Chain A
Amino acid sequence: MPLDADFAFSQGSLSDYADCARRFELRYIQRLRYPALEVAQALEYERRTRQGARFHKLVQQHALGIPADILAQSLQDDAEVARWWQQYRARGSADLPPRRHAEIPLQTQLGGYRLLAKYDLLALEPGGAAIIVDWKTGARVPPRQSLARRMQTLVYRYVLARAGAHLYGAPIPPERIQMRYVYVAAAGERVSFDYSREQMQADEALLLTTIKAASAAKAYPLTPQESRCRFCSYRSLCGRGEAGDLAEFEFEEEEAQEEALSVDFADVEEVEF
């Protein structure tokens, strides 16, 4: 089964391909939903994921003009998210350029496919800096080299350089772009990556190679590194071990997806009573 011509790549799908071609095939080509657990401590994993989503929603609400004190009052039931909020307030956004866009998706074309990125926050100053802020709620900060190689770092900067002109008022020079990870659960630690024309060319080559490989592959083999299967929900399909341990899991915020309309009353079919 080939990849749909209108498929949109994202950092998530590219990471999946880089990790395991079979996972990419199952998730994006066969679109197989598979409910096996990612980690053994399912409820704790879920709690952390929901806290992350709640924090991101708060930041978006704040960016849209809801006063911080009103938002803070809503956190009385979750001390952990309240701490992250304090970190955000203290260190998160004070030094950012003034023109801000929260939860904004952008897309460009590469290798005949769309490439999507959904940003937590873009802070821009026409003619000045263009800063990508990505809030992380995991407690562990990965090594800088690991973050530098991460598909998210590559895709987010590249897509902004290619697709952000309408926000910036002109094409954004790569050297104006900075990707900033902010770890609110690790005392607000920041890891930043600047950008350049050379880096952009190198990233484009790597992204293009990956997109071409993922879209034109004749076969999608299992990764030889079984350690990558520990947190993969397809592992029972592939006969690869048990659910991994939460302590070793590195939390990632939600994958950028194309926005879907929610199902509601308007989608109900008339049924015979």
Chain B
Amino acid sequence: MSALDSERPAALRPQQITAAALDEKIWLEGGAGSGKTSAGLARLRQLLAAGVAADSIALFVPQRSLAEPYLQALRAESGYSGGIVRAYTLGSLARQTVETFWFLIAEGAGFAQPQALPNFLSLELVQYFMTRAIEPLVLEREYFHSVRIERARLYSQILDNMNKAALVGFPISEIGSRLKAALGGGIEQAHIFDDAQTCALEFRRYCLAHNLLDFSLYVQLFRERALMLPAARARLSRRFRHVIVDNVEEDNPASHAFLEQLLPGCQSALIIYDSDAGFRRFLGADPENARRLRQYCDRALHFGTSQVMSAGVSALSAQLSQHLSEADAPLERESDAAPALHWEAHRFHPQMVDWVARQIAELIEERGIKPRDIVVLAPFLSDVLRFSLRERLAKRGIRARSHRPSRALREEPAARALLTLARLAHPRWEYAPAAFDVALALMAGIAGLDFLRAKLLADTLYQRGRLLPFHQLRSAAAQDRITFAIGERYDQLRAWLDAYIEAGGSDAIDIFFRRIFGEVLSRAGFGFYGDAAAGNTAMNLVDSARGFRWSLEFMRRYDDSLDLAADYARMVDRGVIANFYLRDWVAEDEDSVLIAPAYTFLLGNRPVDYQFWLDIGSEAWSRRLYQPLTHPHVLSRGWQPQAVWTDADEAALNRQTLRRLFLALTRRCRRGVYLGYSELSESGYEGRGLLLECIQALLRAAARESADV
């Protein structure tokens, strides 16, 4: 293997890749902004231009958003005829493969009904079935009673442990012993880990008994069984003859093991590794393990410094990073970070939000910066922060988009309205909605009806779980206030619900949603008429409810006491399902300011001119989430079985996490960073996190230097 270090201008770097022979396997490493993905795109185009069959080229990424630059380039490719380049994540590949070869592997894997179809569980359904499978046990034996976290969150950590076991490659029966050995603490803590272990095994037993496949199970089947089948291996070899792997450092040991099996038989490969990344540890990312793949490559290339950062941002990046890597070392002062750093201290959180909006307006209006080149980042993005910032920007005529990959459907007004109407339409559920929810549903469902009048209608005409006719509103003043035009629409909606109830209702809740949408709510005069967003939300709710029904219908062969529709409505309300809904249907306004959690922005992998870092006092910038039932490091591949996780490890991890984050953010920043700081956080607490500490050290050093001058 030969190593070639490159400090060429970024524009020339892709040429190093395209100069390589078509049958070479290349390891490409470099920081963010050094041109690696551009090189990957150049390689892809080169393969296609050379006549390599597109369906023998595979893109392999840890997360689907990371394939987007390649897919966009392929969509824009003109003049090409042939097959299709496919993009895979480990999850998508494992699921497709297990589904295809199910009948050859199910019996050996221990499924109770190997001749019946498998039921792959979506993110929302896995949470639901976990609840069904283990809740009786949890209640009966009083598991986790000392842990003060919502039960749904506990269950998701048990799932997380199972996923880690599958991705790292240890049996789920070792989860408890690994956690106890490293984190054991007192007897109570040991019991919690034992209980988490019992629950994981119970859920696995339940899945095997009912042909259910959660992520951990189908990844395990893929690794241990599907890949052993000659037919499956042959199919994968055909599809992965040429492979481009991007962000391999963000992927997990199961992906790396799969690539290790594959690479010797590939005709060509380009494996791209981002130095100083590895942000997805909570999802099993293992950047150290990824380096094992380098040995399968014919040569290694290194793309040097970032071509994105200005001198000021570059200095800021170096100084912040240095502060965290060697706290006692003197800071380098090759260039001045001051021109790239902007900040102002505030007492209260809303003042900080005001300041951010003002600075953004100034950048756009006075300095001609495009909204798309500005991003506002926080460690976590609360609804309050998102709303208040968007509102302030909107007042200034600035468009913003707020990206959260998932959002609970019940938070969408259209979905809430549909769920409330479903409860009204199914009195047999004995689950009548509150008058307040009825008012919201009427407001959303009837065009031109504001909340005050909707509340008046609900308060007077919603009685004992049913809506009364409009003419029973006795007060003429109230009728006038609501207007007869609105009253007529209200009556149409009420009459539709009554007719539905009289006809005995439907036992398929998604069909109910579709009917009331198509026959009433989307008609002229009603709230969803011509409303694309409401249509899309309703469609997502239909998809969710249908997926639920299909899975539960599937379960009826085992348990015919299930009441699907009522169960669905209750589970949505509890936040057990419809809780992670990808809103990929949203046609985002790309030329707008992005407001996003920091890691979401990073995984979009797109540089901007200016970044605003909010809530810099928050410990969440560096500290792990509180997860008492799991631990990303103890359940990682590199963890030594008998080692103990100490407070010093935790502190070192926090520093390392923040350093990586600094590097990653600044390498995606061209011109400057604005720091949003308020003494009191959104919830009224004083924050003294590690990020604030670093920034203060940096500012003190700069002040001293300035005084010396």
Write the residues of chain A forming the contact surface with B, with a CB cutoff of 8 angstroms: 5-6, 8, 30-37, 42-43, 54, 57, 60-61, 64-66, 70-71, 73-74, 76-77, 104-109, 112, 114, 162-163, 165-167, 233, 235-237, 239, 242-243, 258-273
Q: How far is the CA of A54 from the CA of B103 in the complex (A)?
A: 14
Q: How far is the CA of A261 from the CA of B60 in the complex (A)?
A: 11
Q: How far is the CA of A272 from the CA of B597 in the complex (A)?
A: 11
Q: Is the CB of A36 within 8 A of B514?
A: yes
**Closest chain B residue, CB of each to CB of A4:** B75
Q: How far is the CA of A5 from the CA of B76 in the complex (A)?
A: 8
Partner of B64, one of A36, A64, A107, A263: A263
Partner of B529, one of A5, A107, A237: A237
Q: How far is the CB of B499 from chain A (nearest CB, A)?
A: 14
Q: Is the CB of A33 within 8 A of B522?
A: no
Contact with A along B255-291 (1 / 0, CB 8 A): 0000000000000000000000000101100000000
**Closest chain B residue, CB of each to CB of A114:** B75
Which among A33, A71, A260 has the highest number of chain B CB atoms within 10 Å?
Answer: A33
Q: How far is the CA of A154 from the CA of B117 in the complex (A)?
A: 35
Q: How far is the CA of A242 from the CA of B81 in the complex (A)?
A: 42
Partner of B75, one of A6, A71, A272: A6
| Stretch from B420-428, B461-469, B535-543, B644-652 that touches the partner | B535-543
Q: How far is the CA of A76 from the CA of B72 in the complex (A)?
A: 44
Q: Is the CB of A163 within 8 A of B580?
A: no
Q: How far is the CA of A119 from the CA of B386 in the complex (A)?
A: 45
Q: How far is the CB of B384 from chain A (nearest CB, A)?
A: 13
Q: Is the CB of B538 within 8 A of A35?
A: yes
Q: A74-B116, A269-B597, A272-B380 are in contact. Are A264 and B123 (CB under 8 A)?
A: yes
Note all chain A residues with C-beta closer than 8 A to B419. Answer: none
Does any Cβ of A come within 8 Å of B215's Cβ? yes
Partner of B518, one of A65, A106, A109, A243: A243
Note all chain A residues with C-beta closer than 8 A to B541. Answer: 35
Partner of A37, one of B86, B515, B600: B515
Q: Is the CB of A261 within 8 A of B67?
A: yes
Q: A66-B103, A267-B405, A269-B597 are in contact. Are A236 and B163 (CB under 8 A)?
A: no
Q: How would you classify the secondary structure of chain A's contact residues: helix, strand, loop or mixed?
A: loop
Q: Is the CB of B81 within 8 A of A163?
A: yes
Chain B 287-344 residues near chain A, CB threshold 8 A = none
Q: Is the CB of A35 within 8 A of B115?
A: no
Q: Is the CB of A265 within 8 A of B79?
A: no
Note all chain A residues with C-beta closer than 8 A to B620. Answer: 272
**Closest chain B residue, CB of each to CB of A34:** B535
Q: Is the CB of B64 within 8 A of A267?
A: yes
Does any Cβ of A come within 8 Å of B406's Cβ? yes
Q: Is the CB of A31 within 8 A of B514?
A: no
Write the residues of chain B forming the contact surface with A, with a CB cutoff of 8 angstroms: 53, 55, 62-65, 67, 72, 75-76, 78-84, 86-92, 95, 99-101, 103-104, 115-117, 122-123, 149, 153, 163, 215, 231, 235, 280, 282-283, 380, 404-406, 508, 511, 513-515, 517-519, 522-524, 529-530, 532, 535-536, 538-542, 580, 582, 585, 587, 597, 599-600, 620, 625-627
Q: How far is the CA of A233 from the CA of B514 in the complex (A)?
A: 10
Note all chain A residues with C-beta closer than 8 A to B67. Answer: 261
Q: How far is the CA of A77 from the CA of B626 in the complex (A)?
A: 46
Note all chain B residues with C-beta closer than 8 A to A270. Answer: 282, 597, 599, 625
Note all chain A residues with C-beta closer than 8 A to B100. Answer: 60-61, 64, 66
Q: Is the CB of A32 within 8 A of B536?
A: yes
Q: How far is the CA of A233 from the CA of B518 in the complex (A)?
A: 8
**Closest chain A residue, CB of each to CB of B150:** A273
Q: Is the CB of A105 within 8 A of B83?
A: yes
Q: How far is the CB of A167 from chain B (nearest CB, A)?
A: 8
Note all chain A residues with C-beta closer than 8 A to B64. Answer: 260-261, 263, 266-267
Q: Total number of A-B contacts with CB less than 8 angstroms? A: 180
Q: How far is the CA of A71 from the CA of B115 in the complex (A)?
A: 8
Partner of A262, one of B91, B585, B587: B91
Partner of B87, one of A33, A163, A261: A261
Q: How far is the CA of A5 from the CA of B75 in the complex (A)?
A: 9
Q: How far is the CA of A64 from the CA of B104 in the complex (A)?
A: 12
Q: How far is the CA of A32 from the CA of B529 in the complex (A)?
A: 12
- Complex A-B: 27 CB contacts under 8 Å: A6-B75, A6-B76, A35-B517, A35-B539, A35-B541, A36-B519, A73-B103, A73-B115, A108-B81, A109-B78, A165-B81, A233-B518, A261-B64, A262-B91, A263-B64, A263-B123, A264-B92, A264-B95, A265-B91, A266-B91, A266-B280, A267-B63, A267-B582, A268-B123, A269-B600, A270-B599, A273-B627
Note all chain B residues with C-beta closer than 8 A to A268. Answer: 123, 283, 405-406, 580
Which among B84, B91, B404, B580 has the highest number of chain A CB atoms within 10 Å?
Answer: B84
Q: Is the CB of A239 within 8 A of B599?
A: no
Q: Is the CB of B231 within 8 A of A43?
A: no
Q: Is the CB of B101 within 8 A of A66?
A: yes
Note all chain B residues with C-beta closer than 8 A to A243. Answer: 518
Q: How far is the CB of B144 from chain A (nearest CB, A)?
A: 14
**Closest chain B residue, CB of each to CB of A1:** B587
Q: How far is the CB of B405 from chain A (nearest CB, A)?
A: 5
Q: How far is the CB of B6 from chain A (nearest CB, A)?
A: 31
Q: How far is the CB of B452 from chain A (nearest CB, A)?
A: 28
Q: How far is the CB of A190 from chain B (nearest CB, A)?
A: 27
Q: How far is the CB of A99 from chain B (nearest CB, A)?
A: 13
Which among A64, A77, A235 has the highest number of chain B CB atoms within 10 Å?
Answer: A64
Q: Is the CB of A34 within 8 A of B81?
A: no
Q: How far is the CA of A268 from the CA of B380 in the complex (A)?
A: 14
Apart from A35-B541, A268-B406, A268-B580: 13 A-B pairs, beta carbons within 8 A: A36-B514, A37-B511, A37-B514, A42-B511, A54-B117, A104-B83, A106-B83, A262-B91, A262-B92, A264-B123, A266-B89, A273-B153, A273-B627
Q: How far is the CB of A224 from chain B (nearest CB, A)?
A: 20
Q: Is the CB of A35 within 8 A of B89?
A: no
Q: How far is the CB of B251 from chain A (nearest CB, A)?
A: 9
Across the A-B interface, give the 4 residue pairs with the lowest CB-CB distance, nearest first: A36-B518, A264-B91, A6-B75, A33-B539
Note all chain B residues with C-beta closer than 8 A to A109. Answer: 78-81
Q: How far is the CA of A260 from the CA of B153 in the complex (A)?
A: 29
Q: Is the CB of B89 within 8 A of A264?
A: yes
Q: How far is the CA of A267 from the CA of B149 in the complex (A)?
A: 23
Note all chain A residues with C-beta closer than 8 A to B513. Answer: 35
Q: How far is the CA of A73 from the CA of B114 in the complex (A)?
A: 10
Q: Is the CB of B508 within 8 A of A43?
A: yes
Q: A37-B514, A65-B231 are in contact. Are A269 and B585 (CB under 8 A)?
A: no
Note all chain B residues with C-beta closer than 8 A to A76. Answer: 115
Q: Is the CB of A64 within 8 A of B80?
A: no
Q: Is the CB of B92 within 8 A of A239?
A: no
Q: How far is the CA of A205 from the CA of B218 in the complex (A)?
A: 47
Note all chain B residues with C-beta closer than 8 A to A114. Answer: 75
